[in-house]
């Protein structure tokens, strides 16, 4: 199989067949991000011959695969024609496949019409994961995410219209010291207008190679304390009113909370409240600074 650099996938795609159709990120400019720094290029689409070889190899081991996950930071940036070509290739090897997922950026939806998206849905594209990070416009601008909260609403509404489901990654800590709760409330306001199936929260962990580290050194930004991050997480859960699956997964989270909202809201909030009132910042901080890799 052709896998280039570290391969990232959402935790809930653990049972999907991972096929590399792109590597890297078209944007590659978020200040906190170090995810694809091990690649010698910013973004590339895999040659179709490689994709075909990988599908052929996988099909010798796995005869029936219901879901394929295309790897790379945002394969959804590819043109409709390219995405259709890739789906047709999948069909040659897995004639009964049901859906194709991948990561996407909000800006990848902007250049597609609702009709384009409806067509992609017919080719199986569904359950696209967006690293939204936050609905806090100030944080989105500072971190150079390349879109604002209004774009999140507009583009996700197009996905709703096309019947393409989507999941969000939230980044606890992105609003910075003193603004965690504000960011969480702003985010809930945006998310509550949409229909993410899953909201998966990670916690900001800052590495020295990131632009954000330089901003901190220059005195332009201050990291939230670990307890503040937990308060932010609690505030987000408290303010979400939509039915969705909420989870903190992955190494960056100091604690794991999982549940279905709104059913489990009270339970999750209570758990976090108890933790916030008893936990030691120093212990949490030690975990964060010793986290070598996400």
Number of residues that bind ligand SF4 (CB under 6 A): 11
Q: Round to whole Å and give the CA distance between 221 and 82.
A: 40
Among 2, 5, 18, 28, binds ligand SF4 (CB under 6 A): 28
Indicate whether 44 belongs to the interface with ligand SF4 (CB under 6 A).
no
Indicate whether 25 belongs to the interface with ligand SF4 (CB under 6 A).
yes
Q: Stretches 21-29, 47-55, 175-183, 263-271: which one binds ligand SF4 (CB under 6 A)?
A: 21-29
Among 71, 105, 227, 232, binds ligand SF4 (CB under 6 A): 105
Q: Is residue 132 within 8 Å of 156, Cβ to Cβ? A: no
Indicate whether 130 belongs to the interface with ligand SF4 (CB under 6 A).
no
Q: Is residue 196 within 8 Å of 167, Cβ to Cβ? A: yes
Indicate whether 128 belongs to the interface with ligand SF4 (CB under 6 A).
no
Indicate whether 202 belongs to the interface with ligand SF4 (CB under 6 A).
no
Question: Residue 32: which of 147, 133, 126, 161 has the closest Cα?
Answer: 133
End-to-end CA distance of the chain: give it in Å, rounded. 23
Give the residue with the Cβ less far from ligand SF4, 59 or 144: 144
Cβ contacts of 31 within 8 Å, gap of 6 or more? 142, 143, 144, 210, 211, 212, 215
Residue 265: CB minimum distance to ligand SF4, A: 28
Question: SS3 sequence, 279-291?
Answer: CCHHHHHHHHHCC
Q: Stretches 25-33, 197-205, 222-230, 258-266: which one binds ligand SF4 (CB under 6 A)?
A: 25-33
Give the residue with the Cβ less far from ligand SF4, 25 or 100: 25
- Hey, CA dihedral for 36, 37, 43, 48, is it positive or negative? negative
């Amino acid at each position: 199989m052709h896998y280039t650099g570290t391969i990232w996938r959402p935790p809930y795609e653990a049972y999907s067949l991972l096929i590399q159709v792109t590597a890297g990120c078209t944007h590659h400019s978020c200040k906190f991000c170090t995810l694809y720094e091990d690649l010698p290029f910013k973004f590339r689409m895999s040659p179709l011959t490689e994709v075909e070889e990988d599908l052929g190899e996988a099909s010798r081991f796995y005869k029936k695969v219901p879901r394929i996950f295309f790897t790379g930071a945002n394969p959804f940036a590819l043109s409709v024609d390219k995405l259709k070509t890739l789906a047709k290739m999948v069909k040659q090897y897995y004639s009964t496949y049901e859906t194709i997922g991948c990561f996407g950026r909000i800006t990848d939806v902007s250049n597609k019409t609702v009709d384009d998206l409806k067509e992609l849905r017919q080719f199986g594209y569904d359950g696209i994961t967006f690293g939204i990070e936050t609905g806090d416009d100030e944080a989105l601008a500072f971190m150079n995410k390349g879109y604002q909260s209004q774009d999140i609403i507009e583009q996700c509404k197009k996905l709703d219209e096309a019947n393409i489901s989507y999941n969000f990654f939230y980044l606890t800590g992105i609003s910075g010291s003193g603004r965690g709760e504000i960011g969480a409330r702003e985010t809930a306001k945006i998310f509550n207008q949409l229909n993410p199936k899953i909201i998966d929260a990670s916690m900001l962990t800052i590495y020295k190679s990131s632009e954000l580290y330089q901003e901190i050194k220059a005195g332009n930004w201050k990291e939230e304390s670990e307890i503040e991050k937990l308060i932010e997480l609690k505030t987000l859960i408290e303010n979400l009113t939509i039915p969705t699956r909420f989870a903190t997964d992955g190494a960056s989270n100091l604690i794991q909370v999982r549940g279905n909202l709104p059913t489990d809201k009270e339970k999750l909030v209570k758990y976090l409240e108890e933790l916030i009132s008893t936990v030691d910042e120093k212990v949490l901080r030690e975990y964060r600074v010793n986290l070598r890799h996400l």
